[in-house]
Structure 1
Amino acid sequence: MRTPLTSAQVAIWFSQRLHPEVPDNLVHYVDVRGKIDEVRLAHAIRGAARETGISTVGFIESDGWPYQVARPASEVEVQIVDLRKLPDPYVAAQRWMNADRTRPVDIVRDDLVTAAILRIGDDRVLWYSRVHHLVADPFVVAALLRRAAEIYSADKRDEAPIPSAWSAAHSAVDAEYDYCGSAAYSRDSEYWTEQLHDAAEPISLAGRSAEPSLDTVRIQGTVPAAVNARIAYRSEQLGTTIAIVVAAAFTAYQLRATTSDDPLVSLQVAARPTMLLRRSPGVLSNVIPLRSRITASTPVRSAIRAVAEATIGALSHQRYRRDDIIRELGLVSDSAGDFGPVLNFALNESTVDIGGTRFDVHELAGGLVNDLKVTLRSDANDNLVIEFEANPRLYSHTEVESHHVRFLAFLEQFITAADFTHIGALRGFGPNLQLVR
């Protein structure tokens, strides 16, 4: 029996038909140190996939329109590869993962979920996962990795894992169908019209748009401990979160680094505001605009509060689809369908616990990047990490690195400035966007 796709899946389907050479995969690996039983881990990976049902998800096209179908019962393939005899096993593993990540995918015929355990040392493996965005969104993939770690850890203790939280009784498609006919849908439409009817066109830091690329430029860095502590102090002082403070700093950076006097940024969201939706496997994630209306004359303290209020409002209406907002308001963007650079808060999705030890989840691909994505995550040592990932058709490696360095410097002055210091009074940018100290 065929079933409809969610709106998010439909957008991904046609994007993949338009750009089949750029697979929209969600790809991660976990660098696991210590004694690992590959057979048990493979069993746990298959079990976690089985609970979500993603191993039996397939797609067909009929009269030019996509549908989801149930594939014959099958298990996710988990390859176990021993690379220890090679001169540099870690480099070999990175090449193996990159080759799999970039391999073209036929979204009708190929397996859309795969995993591997790459043995690179007697006490070290890289646990690799590739899931196509048509099958699961980032929320589901993060939960899938955590669940596999739970099952493995319980098995090692000879215990049964805690019951699965997934519910098959109410699918993502059912949830979206109910939402589109609800009063909440109408309220969300009215909210976004009110928020954006007089908004300026979104502006990219690159000043232009381009098609997505198979590879991206990634630069990441750990926020210094003193700056991290100051961010935490600011967030506690204003009754908000670390993510909001960083979002406010980046919005101010966008204001100072572009010609915009009403900066828009994008916010990547799970679009699962209820417990029922958080228990529904499928594809629901969304990208929504964040308009705080800050200007160069806005004090730092007020900017943080404005971004906090804008975020609360946006999250309250996060299920309304990006494509619907763009279509209804006639927005044209430098960012190829986004509302400016995308902010991704992944503070609770960047580690897994295996046998009582936390390990970092390393992202190799988090979906297509149209312009620039800024991800905030914490690592296994509770350090704050900020990553810039950019479309190489718009930004060179040097440009991304420069923006990353400048933003970290700007972030530090933003959170150490006096409360009533205007954003325009912070150290600004020279003709080539170098930070003026």
Structure 2
Amino acid sequence: MEHAAPATYREHRTDPFPLSAAQHGLWFAQQLAPDVPICIAQYVDIRGPLDVELFREVALVAGHEYESVFLRLIDVDGEPHQVIDPPADAAMGVVDFRGASDPMAAAEMWMHDNYTARVDFEHDHLCESSLLCIGDDRHLWYSRIHHVALDGYAAMTLVNRVAALYTAAVEGRSPEPNRAADLHTLHRLEEDYRASHRFSSDRDYWAERLHRRTNGASLTDVEAPPAAHSLTVRTALSPDTVARLEDTGGRPGATAAAALIAAFACHLSRRTGREDVLVDIPLSARTTAVLRRSSGMLANVAPLLVQVRAGDTVGDLVARVQHELMGAMRHQRGNVEDILRDLGVSAEARRISGPMINVMLFDQDLTFGSLTGDFRILTTGPVPDLSVNVYRSGTPASTIVEFEANPYRYRDDELRSHHAAVVGLIDELLAADPGTPLAAIGAHDLARLTPVVGARSAPEVSLPGLLAAAVGVDPDAVAVVCGGRVLTYGEVDAASNRLAR
């Protein structure tokens, strides 16, 4: 088959340039927990006769267009800088699992080992993609992306560009021109923003809200560091619930995201006994057309203060959440980490995090010529507490509600119980009239709820119990560093057993 030639590669500036505020915050967080990679991982399940060499070629073209996939970090006078450094052989690798007894299981294990492995900032590129062959006509396009290089919005932009380039090539036509700004231009635009009145306005908005913040509520009272992988439970919403979610006419002035956040905040309030709860939300911080079509790490995570009042109706709560969401969206470029630091909040306190809810209801229909690809999120990164992800996946598309939880803080049965309760609240809240008393929603669950005493109370667990839990989750994770000696959780466990004997 004759294919149109893909576009030529973009010329890159190779001089180092500083990290943005968002990137620097992630770089610092990675220094604090070097064995827990702050990466997102995903794959696209492509079924049918894929032209592997063409796919690798257009993926390389897209990589050159967006540049982030070639980022490395280097030290310049004691400060981290980024440099665009395409390797000599930048083509995507191909891994063949067809000889395995269960090719899909073998590929899933390979991906898990890859995205939980430590990233060496000094030597590794921050993005990695591979094409995993699990059948003659089935491939998984896998990507592991460090958040310093790309946020989730940019990662999806890159995926869509590869699909568009492949489709144009097999159809024998020229692709739409790439209109993404290069990374040096994005850095200059960030500097311009930080010198602008808009930056001052955004900073004032978040400073005012953060001054009156409360300690984050959590669905667990167990304190523990993040792990490299998460406990996960997911389910698809029913077709009736999805139809109601998409029917904004039933929620005048309120978005689907507001309704979903309201349902989760209601559960969080009931479980903690608190009327004011904080829910973290990710914000794309892409407020202009050029930012929305470009790559890079721009995203911001901001706390949304949700007030859940005893006398609320469903409409009251959803409208209140929508009001807070609109303010957050208007000021989404203000970097909350920067502002907390300026307010004198310690680095340790800034890392105390409650639940996050990430609503990703954009279309994920991917076509590669005549082939379709199903998009699947493996991880959105290490989870300090709990992350609620709502996204579309599959063909035909289902709307998935997924809980990713810190395995050091939640048991599997606890997570499943919370997940079932929240999905039930989503179903009931969306089906209810706005004037329905909030107390009538999920009423059958209220009697059996056991409140969490407090997000920061001391857990009733022994040190051996914590050690055993850590060994069960990740025995190779670093547990103790003393001088030049490093011990993993497995080694500490073995040594304590020898001592006990």
Same fold (TM over 0.5): yes
Amino acid at match of 1:401: R
- 8 Å CA contact 1:254–1:263 kept in 2: the answer is yes
SS in structure 2 opposite 1:205?
A: coil
Contact 1:152 1:354 in 2 (8 A): yes
Alignment of 1:195-344 (within 5 A): 195-233=209-247, 236-329=250-343, 337=351, 340-344=354-358
Alpha-carbon shift at residue 340 of structure 1 (Å): 2.9
1:178 matched to 2:195? The reply is: no
Alpha-carbon distance in structure 2 between the residues aligned to 1:222 and 1:72: 40
Q: Aligned pair in 2 of structure 1 residues 351, 102: CA closer, same or farther (>3 Å)?
A: farther
> What is the Cα deviation at residue 262 of structure 1?
0.9
Seen in structure 2, the aligned counterparts of structure 1 residues 74 and 310 have a Cα distance that, compared at 3 Å, is farther
Bigger Cα displacement from structure 2, 161-170 vs 100-109: 161-170
Q: How far does the alpha carbon of each residue in 1:405-428 deviate from its partner, in whole angstroms, 9 at most, with x for none?
A: 111112222223342233234315
Alignment of 1:359-378 (within 5 A): 359-378=373-392
Q: Say whether residues 1:416 and 2:431 are aligned partners.
A: yes
Q: Which residue of 2 aligns with 1:402?
A: 417
2:406 is aligned, of 391, 395, 419, to 391
CA offset at residue 313 of structure 1? 0.8
- Alpha-carbon distance, 1:86 to partner: 1.9
Q: How many Å apart are 1:352 and its aligned residue?
A: 2.2
Alpha-carbon separation, structure 1, partners of 2:349 and 2:414: 16
Aligned to 1:323, the other structure's residue is in SS state: helix
1:348-381 alpha-carbon deviations (Å, 9 max, x no partner): 1644222255432111222222111111111242
The whole-number CA distance in structure 2 between the counterparts of 1:157 and 1:233 is 36
1:36 corresponding residue in structure 2: 50
- When structure 1 is superposed on structure 2, of 118-127 and 237-246 the one drifting more is 237-246
1:4 and 2:21 correspond? no
2-side partners of 1:384 and 1:192: how far apart? 32
Question: What letter matches 1:252 in structure 2?
Answer: C
1:84 Cα deviation (Å)? Answer: 1.5
Deviates more, 1:323-332 or 1:223-232: 323-332
For the residue of structure 1 that corresponds to 2:132, the secondary structure is strand
- Partner Cα distance (2:190, 2:83) in 1: 18
Alignment deviations for residues 67-118 of structure 1 (CA, whole Å, 9 cap, x no partner) = 1123256453411122212211111111221222222221120232221111
| Structure 1 contact 25–133 (Cα < 8 Å) conserved | yes
Structure 1 102/351 Cα, relative in aligned 2: closer, same or farther at 3 Å? farther
Structure 2 residue ranges without an equivalent (≥5): 1-14, 452-501
Q: Which moved more, 1:396-405 or 1:55-64?
A: 55-64
Closer, same or farther: CA 413–248 of 1 in aligned 2, 3 Å? same
Q: Distance in 2 between matches of 1:328 and 1:306?
A: 28
Match of 2:164 in 1: 150
User: Does 1:429 find its partner at 2:443?
Assistant: no
- Secondary structure at 1:364 match in 2: strand
Label 1:140 to 1:433 Cα distance change in 2 as closer, same or farther (>3 A): same
- Give the residue type in structure 1 aligned to 2:305: R
1:149-181 per-position Cα deviation (integer Å, ceiling 9, x unaligned): 111111111222111131228633222211222
What is the percent sequence identity of the aligned residues? 33
Letter of the 2:435 partner, please give it: F
Matched, 1:187 2:187: no
Shift of 1:276: 2.0
Q: CA RMSD in A?
A: 2.4
Cα contact 2:65–2:180 (8 A) shared by 1: yes
Q: Deviations over 1:11-39 (max 9, x none)?
A: 12122222221112221111111111111
Query: What one-letter code is carried by the residue in structure 1 that aligns with 2:387?
Result: K
- Give CA deviations for 1:109-132 in whole Å, capped at 9, x if unaligned: 023222111111122111111222
Distance 1:17 1:330 in 2: 21
2:3 is aligned to: none
Q: Is the 8 A contact 1:264 1:339 kept in 2?
A: no
Worse-superposed segment, 369-378 or 110-119: 110-119
CA distance in 2, matches of 1:111, 1:314: 33
The whole-number CA distance in structure 2 between the counterparts of 1:226 and 1:349 is: 19
User: Following the alignment from structure 2 to structure 1, what is the Cα–Cα distance between the partners of residues 69 and 214?
Assistant: 43
1:337 and 1:260, CA in 2 relative to 1: closer, same or farther beyond 3 A?
farther
Amino acid at match of 2:150: A
Residue 478 of structure 2 is matched in structure 1 by none
Contact 1:55 1:74 in 2 (8 A): no
Correspondence for 1:24: 38
**Correspondences of 1:128-147 after superposition (within 5 Å):** 128-147=142-161
Deviation at 1:301, TM superposition (A): 0.7
Work out the CA distance in 1 between the residues paired with 2:363 and 2:336.
23
Distance 1:308 1:16 in 2: 33
Instruction: Mark the CA change 1:413 to 1:30 in structure 2 (over 3 Å): closer, same or farther.
Output: same
- Cα deviation digits, residues 324-360 of structure 1 (max 9, x gap): 3433456699996366311112111644222255432
Q: Deviations over 1:24-59 (max 9, x none)?
A: 222111111111111111112111111011243221
Return the alpha-carbon distance in structure 2 between the equivalents of residues 335 and 94 of structure 1. Answer: 36
Unpaired stretches in structure 1, ≥5 consecutive residues:
none
| 8 Å contact kept, 2:263–2:426 | yes
